[in-house]
Amino acid sequence: MPPSARKRWLRWTGGALLAVWLGVMAWNTWKPLPEGVTVESGWSPLQEGDVQFLRDITAADAYGHPIVDQQIFEAVFELIAEARHFILIDMFLFNAHRGADVAAPVHRTLAAELTNALLERRRADPGLRIVFITDPINDVYGGAPSPELQTLRDAGVEVVVTDLDRLRDSNPLYSAFWRIALRWWARGQPGTWPDPFDAQGPGVSMGAWARLVNFKANHRKVLIVGREDGTLAGIVTSANAHDASSSHSNVALRISGPVLEPLIASELAIARYSGWEGDPLPVPGTAPTAATETASATPSSPSLPGRARMLTESAIADAVVARLQTCVAGDAIDVAMFYLSDRRVLGALRDAATRGAAVRVLLDPNKDAFGRQKNGIPNRPVATELVAATDGAIRLRWYRTHGEQFHVKLLAIRGRDDFWLTLGSANFTRRNVRDYNLEANIAIELPRDSALELAVLEWFDGLWMNRAPAGVEYTAEYGTYADPRQIRYWGYRVMEATGLSTF
C-alpha cells in the first residue's frame, strides 16, 4: 500500500473509531433509565405517629476512645421481626470487607447480623417472601463471590444483583472505552490483582478493576416489610450493612403507610431489568400518583397533620432545589452531608442565604476512607466557595471523624409554618442526583414544632453546638479544615463535571 493510501486509511480508521467512541459516550450519558425505576411520587397523608427519626452517632472522648450511640439497625431488625407477608431490601454495601486497615477494630459485624436476622425470620416462617436487591460491589464485580449472598440464596431468599450496565455512565470518558474494548472479555473472576475493598481479600481479575472504574452503583439503602395487619412499614436510610461502615454516623426515617408503595414498584423494576423473574409481592392498595397531589389537604389541615413522598435519582435534586428557591428571611436551612458538590444545589443554597435565610452546613472533612487517607475533595473546596460567596452568611462546621465517616445525607428546612425534610441514600453530587446512580430519599412535610422537627433539631443542634459529655467535641470550626487553594477548587470542578472521581 502506498504511503499516501496508508495515511488515508489510518485517518479514516481513526475517525471511525473516534465517531464510535463519541457515539457510545453520548448515548450512555443521556439514555433514559430503565422503565419504572424513577420515582417522583405524589404526596401521601402522614400522621405524626407514622414517622420516626433515627440516628447513629460516633464521636471520641479526650483520649481518643470511641463513643458510639446507634439506633438504625436495631430498628431494621425490629421491622424484620414484624414482617408477615414479605421483606424487600435494597442495600448498597452488604459485606464483611475491612478496607485497607485490617488491624482497625470493627464496631459491629453488620453483614452477619443482617444475614442472621433474615435467616431466623425465614426459619420461623418458611413461606415468607424475601427479596434482597444489592450492588455487584459486594461480589467485587464477580471477582470474589459474596459468602453472605450465597448463604441467603441457599436459604431461599430471592437475591438480585443489580445490572449496572443498563444505567447511564457517570464517567463517560472511561466508560465509553470500557463498553467498546473491555466489557466483552474483562469479566470479573478470581485473579491476581489485589482486592480493592479488603486488604486480606482474595485476588481478583483485571476485569473486576475495569468494572470498578465505571464509578456507578445501586446506592439505595431501604427496607420495606408487609406486616400482619396488611400495612407497610419501612426504613429509608444512609446506613449500609457493612462491617467497615459500622461505626459511621448516619440517619434514617422509619415510616409506615402507602407512601412506600411507589418505592416498592421501583425496587421491583430494578429487580426485573436485572433478570429477576419472581412473582409480584403481596402489596395492598394503590400507590398515590402525581394527580393525587393537588387534591391532598395542606400540611396545616387539622385532619391531615402532614404528608410524605418518595423521591429517587434526579427527582431528589429537583425537589431540593425547588424547596430551597422558596426560602427567604425567617427560614432556617440545615444541611448535614457526606459529599456536597452538585452545582445546582450549591447555587440554590447560596441564593437562599442571599435572600436572608439562615443556612447551616455540617460536612464530613473527607479525610477518612476505610483505612485510606483522602485529600478533602470535594467538601473542603466547596466549603470555601460557600463561605466566600456569601461573605460568611452560610455558616459551616466540620464533623470530627476518627477513622470513620460522617455518612449523613440530610436537608431540613424550618419555614414560618411548616417543616420540610429529606434524607436517604443521596449525597448532593452530580453522580448521586443526576440520574447516574440509583438513589432513594423520602421527603416529609409537617407543621412546625412537630415531634419529628424537634427530634431532628435536637440532633443537629447537639452536633453543631457540641452538646456532649465532658471532653467530647462532635464538630469543629470552619477554619479547622478550610482549604482555599485554587488547584483543589478547580480539581473538584473538573472531577464533578467529568465523573473522573469517586464522589
Q: What is the pLDDT of residue 188?
A: 56
| For residue 285, pLDDT beyond 60 | no
Q: Which residue has the higher pLDDT, 100 or 222?
A: 222
Q: How does residue 249 score in pLDDT terms, banded at 50, 70 and 90?
A: very high
Output the CATH code of domain 304-498: 3.30.870.10
Quick one: pLDDT at residue 297?
35
Whether the predicted pLDDT of 300 surpasses 60: no
| pLDDT in the model for residue 370 | 82
- Cβ 402 vs Cβ 104: under 8 Å: no
| Cβ(440)–Cβ(424) below 8 Å | yes
Tell me the pTM: 0.92
User: What is the average pLDDT value for the chain, to the nearest integer?
Assistant: 91
Residue 197 pLDDT class (50, 70, 90 cuts):
confident
Domain ranges of the chain: 46-245, 304-498
Tell me what percent of the residues of the chain surpass a pLDDT of 90: 77
Show contacts of 290-299: CB within 8 Å, 24+ apart.
290/40, 290/41, 290/42, 291/42, 292/42, 292/43, 293/42, 293/43, 296/42, 296/43, 296/44, 296/45, 297/45, 299/418, 299/445, 299/446, 299/447
Residue 295: pLDDT above 60?
Answer: no
Q: Once rounded to an integer, what is the mean pLDDT over residues 244-273?
A: 96
Lowest-pLDDT choice from 60-74, 122-136, 199-213:
199-213
Query: Residue 286 pLDDT more than 50?
Result: no
How far is Cα 12 from Cα 343, in angstroms, rounded to an integer? 39
Q: How confident is the model at residue 294 (pLDDT cuts 50, 70, 90)?
A: very low
Mean pLDDT across 468-487: 91
End-to-end CA separation in angstroms for the chain: 49
Name residues whose C-beta falls within 8 Å of residue 6's C-beta, 6 or more positions apart in sequence. Answer: none
Lowest mean pLDDT among 123-127, 204-208, 319-323, 417-421: 204-208
Instruction: Reply yes or no on whether the pLDDT at 298 is more than 70.
Output: no
Which three cell numbers, joined as nine digits, stand for 22? 463519541
Dump pLDDT digits (tens) for 353-366.
Answer: 999 999 999 999 99
